[in-house]
Structure 1
């Protein structure tokens, strides 16, 4: 059975990844009823220390994420070493898969979700670079899953499907984000159905209707609190998404609301958890 996991991103995105910030998130998660959280080991802490730390809040490590620009700005020798360390750490935590994502192309942060500044050569290079990192992760016993994300080099449906189809299932699986797909104009349910045989994880995220959002850059739109929605409060058809997920799916259902639409981060996670417990009944522990 799958787990409902929580990503503490709204806690640390502005305040930083400090022990105090994470402990606030973990206390909230414990009070709400979560039993798993994104595996995000702070610098200077071992995997064993991290497991013990979050275990004190009744939490276990859940699906994490390897992030790289994957474009011409990266030193691939350094990325390979980073991937080796990351993969070994995830394996030590007892995990067998991770998300792999790109999310930091400046032109696309400025003009998100429209495939700004497309460059065919950059896309070719990025696909090759992702393949290199995925093969490294696999040598560490970690199954890499592509994680769709607005702002990166794989933003549009054509770019994401090109990556997955070119590399193939032996190299990379699928770990979509329903909110990021919807924001970029991709039907999340159709996407999940297309790659159902290589689905290893999913971020459950909702997005408000486009007509109700002001324009602007990625951070400007997020700051309005009318971009990301708690699941069930936006436009994503989660009934169709759930129908597209195979019944033998064994990955996490990770709740992620980068910028809650309500004032309290704890309230946002409580809304999300209660929705998930009801909506995913029969598919979760």
Structure 2
């Protein structure tokens, strides 16, 4: 498959959320899947994947004992930890130091466990809407994330996300004019925001060293396996082949009645489309 290595995100094996204490303590705020990460890894490996991505909260749970349980899980399943996902508001100067310190801890964990990528989302959208200076603040913060990652031998990626100030194609272009960080396209989020994910891959090819493929259905709004719904991931796969992409691809699905089946279905779709491309 064009040299691609396939990973899957562990976020489907339980409800998604964050650490509630982060509401009052920015330095403790992290993403989290409230589920069995060992089970997720076993089923991801059994589905045929070679790598896995975790949220920062799930990884940082193991820092007290040098990630012994997670190291054992990775060794037993043969999976590589490809990426750790974190994020922040990034536009509020008073809390930025705390946010970056927390992301630094996630990067430390990623480095210790041999990951290649540090992926961040964020860029808070104010209740009153985005202000022009918010993009400059976000870009400056993302450049600091790049420095955090590079100091640990990691590649930093920015993941545009619904509910942030970087959703639409114009907003994606605006932020990448201001920051050097890599681009981790999440195809479902890009499509749901009105974008053409394949065109965005082509237009930002030089920035892409890691990819999230996800399916999305417009009505009712829901995320689905990669080959289903209204996001043309087949076109994305053709675009990735056309630009000569040869890195990791992480299939992702936020919630599904049978997570293992969703992982298998998504992998089969990518393999079939890659073979046709």
Asked if TM exceeds 0.5, the reply is: yes
2:265 matched to 1:271?
Answer: yes
Which aligned pairs between 1:1-285 and structure 2 lie closer than 5 A? 1-14=3-16, 17=33, 21-40=36-55, 41-45=59-63, 46-47=66-67, 49-72=69-92, 75-102=95-122, 105=125, 107=127, 117-167=129-179, 171-208=180-217, 210=218, 212-213=219-220, 226-245=221-240, 246=242, 248-260=244-256, 263-281=257-275
Moved more, 67-76 or 230-239: 67-76
For residues 80 and 35 of structure 1, what CA distance do their matches in structure 2 show? 30
Structure 1 residue ranges without an equivalent (≥5): 108-115, 214-225
Secondary structure at the aligned position of 2:14 is classed as: helix
More strand per residue: 2
Higher relative contact order by CA 8 Å / sep ≥ 6: 1 or 2? Answer: 1
Q: Deviations over 1:161-213 (max 9, x none)?
A: 1111112xxx31111100000000011011000111121111111111x3x22
**Which TM-score applies when normalising by structure 1?**
0.79
For residues 131 and 247 of structure 1, what CA distance do their matches in structure 2 show? 25
Structure 2 residue ranges without an equivalent (≥5): 18-31
For residues 9 and 123 of structure 2, what CA distance do their matches in structure 1 show? 17
Q: How many aligned residue pairs are there?
A: 255
Q: Which residue of 2 aligns with 1:216?
A: none
Relative to structure 1, the CA distance from residue 26 to residue 203 in structure 2 (aligned partners, 3 Å threshold; closer, same or farther) is: same
Relative to structure 1, the CA distance from residue 160 to residue 274 in structure 2 (aligned partners, 3 Å threshold; closer, same or farther) is: same
For the aligned residue pairs, the C-alpha RMSD in angstroms reads 2.6
For residues 251 and 278 of structure 1, what CA distance do their matches in structure 2 show? 18
**Which TM-score applies when normalising by structure 2?**
0.81
Relative to structure 1, the CA distance from residue 276 to residue 86 in structure 2 (aligned partners, 3 Å threshold; closer, same or farther) is: same
Q: Deviations over 1:236-276 (max 9, x none)?
A: 2223212322554232111111123xx32222222112222
Secondary structure at the aligned position of 1:76 is classed as: helix
Secondary structure at the aligned position of 1:151 is classed as: coil
